[in-house]
Amino acid sequence: MLCDECKTNSYDFTCKCLKKLCVSCSTKHIQLIEKQFSDIYNNDIKSKIEQINDICHQNNSIEQQHQIIHDWKSKQIQLINDISNEALNNLKKTQQLLSTINIDDLEKNFRIIRHEQLDEINEFKQNLCNKYTALSELSSIIKYNTLNDLLKNALNLISLDNDNNNNNNNEEENFTSFVDKSNIIYRIPRAHADCYGAIACHNNELVYYDFDRKTIIVIKTIYKTQSFEYKWPYEQRITDMDYSSILQLYLISTGRGTCELYSFDSDTGNINIWMTFQLRQRKMQVLKRFYCSLDSIFIVFWDKRGDYKKQCCDTLLLIDYNKKEIEYKTIKDLINIDGEIVDVACDDNSNVISLAYRSTIENNRVIGVYLFTKEWNVINVVQLDATNNSDCWFTPRISWSSVLNVFVFVEYTSATLFILNRNGIIKGKSTFEDQNDATQPLNICLSNDWIALYYQLSINIHRINKLLT
């Protein structure tokens, strides 16, 4: 019988597949079988083995996953315990305060009125005022939903970074995605700002100036939302505020009428004059902006005698924490334009300094940001679209984020937030208009976990989704 393949030679073997093959064709037949085997292994088996190995490798970390679940559970339980303990402590304090008030004794103690009784009733009045203040801070009615809201606000601030360590290398580098626009973790209504929009923060504490009520508001912890109010005791107008980690206090500037920096202790409410710039006050200069770094304080002055249409009047003064002058620059020394310095910020060690500016040329009010080295060499200039809005002298406002390692600034006329890296390259931008009041952000401050935008009628606080390294 002939070979089934070549149909010429007589067959010598019968294969397992029942084909009858000659010696020559059997060799080719074996090669074909080997190729089919190789194709199946390389295309199907090999990849499946790799997938199984990956699963086995992941399952080797079962103990680590157990630890993650345990840690998560412990943190949430601790969070609930903290909130409930604080609520119970407030109730206990309220009960203790209520037990000390006995208004029924007023009539029997003051039947005969003399000077002594007048002094006593004034003292009694002061005690009542103090207790009312203490009660008003403690005795908010606790409801089930109140505790739920506190827990939700606290959970909003918990970073999910540990679950997001696997980064997509092809992800577009747009840092504004790290700010959660859609989720306002806390909104402060009835926060009335003037054009300065003085606001500052430290860790989870927020401090701002309510212009209408002439009051400094302190929110000790954002997610707990309990606030303390301190009347601003001076007539001078607040122009700016910032936290100094060196002083471990807030500094507050006044610039109209007097040029002074005040220290503010957010724990006690104490306000004291920290430094007075008498010489600049006599020269009709206004302190309008300042920024605290780890080694110095940058202060922007405006000379009221100048005419912006004819000359540039702004100056930048650097002082150390011993109140000694380090350096003095005019705007002409720094920026060769007819304009003004709107704001100033720098990285932690003052290695990169940013100046927000605007030109004062009629019908061409260009605004932007200059970045300098410590030696005042220009790194880059970011120029935004020109605007003819004559009211835009307070924009843009800029701040430094140690966590993101970038500058963040807001531009009022376009309601846009920009992210600027240390090389002066815009890495992202997004609009942040307050939909409730249809207003644009006047100022900005950044914590490690959140960003606060001060509008004309409110403050919106957004969570920072991811922390960059």
Is the preceding peptide bond at 396 cis, omega within 30 degrees of 0?
Answer: yes
Task: Give pLDDT, residue 166.
Answer: 37
What is the pLDDT averaged over residues 144-165? 51
> CA–CA separation, 71 vs 336, rounded Å?
56
Structure tokens given for 437: 């009041």
> CA–CA separation, 424 vs 370, rounded Å?
8
pLDDT in tens, 302-354: 875 555 444 557 889 999 999 999 998 888 888 877 778 889 999 888 889 99
pLDDT in tens, 435-446: 665 577 888 898
What is the pLDDT averaged over residues 89-116? 64
* More reliable by pLDDT, 20 or 149: 20
* More reliable by pLDDT, 23 or 255: 23
Task: Report whether 344 contacts 353 (CB < 8 A).
Answer: yes
Strand pairing class (443-446; 426-431): unpaired
Specify which of 123-127, 139-143, 146-150, 421-425 reaches the highest per-range mean pLDDT: 421-425
* More reliable by pLDDT, 383 or 61: 383
Task: Report whether 276 contacts 259 (CB < 8 A).
Answer: yes
Task: Give pLDDT, residue 251.
Answer: 96
Identify the residue whose tokens are 């005690």: 127
pLDDT in tens, 352-374: 999 988 876 666 667 889 999 98
Inter-axis angle of helices 62-99 and 144-156, nearest 10: 140
> CA–CA separation, 321 vs 246, rounded Å?
8
Task: Give pLDDT, residue 8.
Answer: 85
Task: Give pLDDT, residue 290.
Answer: 93
Structure tokens given for 204: 């989870």
Angle at 227 between CA 224 and CA 229, to 5 degrees: 175
Identify the residue whose tokens are 């004819």: 310
Task: Report whether 269 contacts 228 (CB < 8 A).
Answer: yes
Specify which of 8-17, 66-75, 265-274, 455-464 reaches the highest per-range mean pLDDT: 265-274
Task: Give pLDDT, residue 230.
Answer: 92
Task: Give pLDDT, residue 314.
Answer: 83
pLDDT > 70: what percent of the chain? 68
Q: Which residues pair with 299 in a beta bridge?
A: 290, 317
Annotated domain spans of the chain: 1-51, 176-464
Which residue in 427, 435, 456, 443 sits closest to 395, CA to CA? Answer: 443
Beta-carbon count within 10 A of 231 CB: 11
Structure tokens given for 342: 């709107």
Report CA 133 to chain centroid distance, whole Å.
Answer: 31
Specify which of 159-163, 248-252, 273-277, 423-427 reaches the highest per-range mean pLDDT: 248-252
What is the pLDDT averaged over residues 117-142? 60
What is the pLDDT averaged over residues 151-165? 47
pLDDT > 90: what percent of the chain? 14
Confidence of residue 1 (pLDDT cuts 50, 70, 90): confident
Task: Give pLDDT, residue 261.
Answer: 92
Task: Report whether 394 contacts 196 (CB < 8 A).
Answer: yes
CATH 2.120.10.30 fits 176-464, yes or no: yes
Confidence of residue 272 (pLDDT cuts 50, 70, 90): very high
Which of 143-147, 152-156, 162-166 bottoms out in mean pLDDT, i.e. has the lowest? Answer: 162-166
Task: Give pLDDT, residue 309.
Answer: 47
> CA–CA separation, 396 vs 447, rounded Å?
19
Average pLDDT, rounded, for the chain: 76
Task: Give pLDDT, residue 157.
Answer: 47
What burial letters (b/e) apply to 91-107, b meaning 16+ CB within 10 Å?
eeebeebeeeeeeeeee
Task: Give pLDDT, residue 49.
Answer: 79
Task: Give pLDDT, residue 270.
Answer: 93
Which residue in 192, 293, 201, 301 sits closest to 241, CA to CA? Answer: 201
Global pTM value? 0.61
